[in-house]
Amino acid sequence: MKLLAVCIGSARPTPGRVSSKTGIFKLPVDHPVMIGREGLAGDRIVNRKHHGGPDQAVYIEGSIDLDWWTEDLGMPVAPGTFGENLVIEGLDNRQVAVGDRFEIGDILLEITSARIPCSTFALRMDDPKFVKRYTKAGRPGAYARVLREGTLRSGDEVRLLPYAGERVTMPELMRTYGHKLEGEERARYLAAPIHCKLRNFLEGDA
């Protein structure tokens, strides 16, 4: 696997919202970028209540999924269109699970959760029904925490280290979002290194 694109963004006005800004508009860069515990250097995160933080530091999309969206939407979906930081060549989001790790040079990322679409995403795509469309497609991107910091750039080799425990995939996380789970399913989720907010929710502390 290779890193197809590294994308960062600045704060820009949110389409259709007065006095509101968003960091969802991201563009590929061709220079080395430092990744720390809170994400990519130079990447602006505006709404920190729902975005960013150590367990949601890096947003990853697979090139297979962006190609799928290009065909489904009938228009090019360039790297950064969905607000992602990294695009990994040959990656299929549907196969990604919590606990999977991606090693890129000195950097080590660990998947924590799926991207859940929001109204800002729909505004960015200029489609009020895009939240439902993205959810129905069942190909959500993935958020990761940074276990080892470092510098990367487009073209770097990417090594996938699959999670050794029972898998909780990105489509599963999207399908069960907001639901209180029980029994074996709940235990499987809690056994994986899931996002801290989801863990608190499932443990009843949210």
Q: Which residues pair with 148 in a beta bridge?
A: 108
Q: What is the mean pLDDT of residues 109-136?
A: 94
Asked whether residue 28 carries a pLDDT value surpassing 70, the answer given is yes
Over residues 138-196, the pLDDT tens digits come to 999 999 999 999 999 999 999 999 999 999 999 999 999 999 899 999 999 999 999 99
Q: Where are the domains of the chain?
A: 3-203
May I ask the CATH architecture of the domain 3-203? Beta Barrel (2.40)
Q: Which residues of 85-122 are buried (b: 16+ CB within 10 A; e: fewer)?
A: bbbbeebebbebbbbbbbebeebbbbbbbbbbbeebbb
**pLDDT tier at 30 (50, 70, 90 boundaries)?**
very high
Catalogue the E-assigned strands of 134-195.
142-148, 150-152, 159-161
Residues 6+ apart with CB under 8 A from 130: 117, 121, 122
How confident is the model at residue 206, as a pLDDT?
A: 46
Over residues 58-82, the pLDDT tens digits come to 999 999 999 999 999 999 999 999 9
How confident is the model at residue 25, as a pLDDT?
A: 86
